[in-house]
């Protein structure tokens, strides 16, 4: 009889890794330098600069490029979902393929279907995150179109409006990030088809990779340094005015 205990434990570790890292990253970003925290400051500076431009073609081009990237992932997610759903009718063949691979756990029909269901849930979540990100960038386009022109530098109300635009952009970026994170953890679930221990190992590896990239990478250091330079320049301009 098939023993489900190891699979249940592996799935529990997987869920804890995903949910735990999401909670940790949100909390840590409030106090430590990271991609999310530093880019939020860059977005505020960007929106302040946008208020001082009468023609905002630069913003339109940059936002269109961001939306294009997200649209690519959204459409790709639908294709991946179609592929995973197709596998439900090919479970027997999938079992035969897995059984031929050395060092894999013997495939069990019901467990294969459960693993496919987990993949479907992950990619559905990713699709919703990507499409919500696209919608929020659309909201931001409307706000930029409605933003007043600050000929003599942004006034207090204009600065508040720019800050709200940065918040919308920040939320759109977070949704995009959550969608990408779903892809990372989907890789762990794919390896679950071969053995539950691989799910545990890769889940922990994904957490380690995400932490290093979002908190300790060279990109984080460069973005944070750039943010501080922008803050200094902004303060000088404000003092001169």
The packing angle between helices 5-29 and 156-192, to 10°, is: 160
pLDDT given for residue 156 in this prediction: 65
Domain ranges for the chain, please list them.
Answer: 35-232
CA dist 37 and 41 (Å) reads 7
CA dist 106 and 103 (Å) reads 9
Please tell me whether the overall predicted TM-score, pTM, comes out greater than 0.75 for this model. yes
pLDDT tens for 184-223 read 999 999 999 988 999 999 999 999 999 999 999 999 899 9
pLDDT tens for 91-105 read 888 888 888 887 777
Max avg pLDDT among 129-138, 143-152, 154-163, 227-236: 129-138
Confidence of residue 232 (pLDDT cuts 50, 70, 90): confident
Q: List, as one string, the DSSP characters of 138-186.
A: HHHHHHHHHPPP-TTS--HHHHHHHHHHHHHHHHHHHHHHHHHHHHHHH
Query: Measured on CA atoms in the order 77, 35, 234, 154, is the torsion positive or negative?
Result: positive
Cβ–Cβ under 8 Å, residues 124 and 171? no
* Tokens describing residue 127: 């699709």
pLDDT tens for 108-146 read 888 899 999 999 999 999 999 999 999 999 999 999 988
Non-local CB neighbours of 20 within 8 Å, separated by 6+ positions: 207
pLDDT given for residue 154 in this prediction: 57
CA dist 155 and 126 (Å) reads 39
pLDDT given for residue 240 in this prediction: 59
Confidence of residue 237 (pLDDT cuts 50, 70, 90): low
pLDDT tens for 46-93 read 888 888 877 788 888 889 999 999 999 999 999 999 999 999 988 888
CA distances to 28, 152, 157, 194, 239 from 53, rounded to whole Å, are: 35, 11, 16, 56, 20
CA dist 151 and 136 (Å) reads 27
């Amino acid at each position: 009889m098939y023993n489900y205990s190891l699979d249940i434990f592996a799935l529990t570790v997987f869920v804890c890794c995903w949910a735990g890292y999401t909670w940790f990253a949100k909390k840590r970003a409030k106090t430590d330098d990271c991609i999310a925290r530093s880019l939020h400051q860059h977005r505020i500076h960007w929106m302040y600069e946008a208020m001082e431009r009468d023609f905002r073609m630069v913003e339109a081009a940059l936002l269109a490029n961001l939306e294009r990237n997200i649209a690519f992932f959204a459409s790709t997610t639908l294709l991946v979902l179609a592929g995973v759903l197709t596998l439900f009718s090919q479970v027997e063949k999938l079992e035969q393929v897995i059984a031929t691979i050395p060092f894999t756990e013997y495939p069990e029909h019901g467990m294969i279907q459960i693993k496919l269901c987990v993949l479907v849930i992950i990619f559905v979540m990713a699709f919703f995150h990507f499409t919500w990100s696209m919608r929020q960038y659309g909201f931001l386009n409307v706000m930029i179109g409605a933003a007043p022109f600050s000929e003599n530098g942004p006034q207090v109300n204009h600065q508040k409006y720019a800050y709200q635009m940065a918040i919308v952009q920040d939320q759109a970026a977070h949704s995009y990030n959550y969608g990408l994170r779903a892809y990372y953890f989907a890789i762990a679930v794919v390896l679950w088809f071969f053995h539950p221990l691989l799910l545990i190992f890769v889940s922990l590896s994904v957490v380690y990779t995400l932490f290093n990239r979002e908190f300790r990478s060279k990109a984080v250091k460069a973005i944070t340094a750039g943010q501080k330079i922008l803050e200094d320049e902004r303060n000088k301009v404000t003092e001169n005015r």
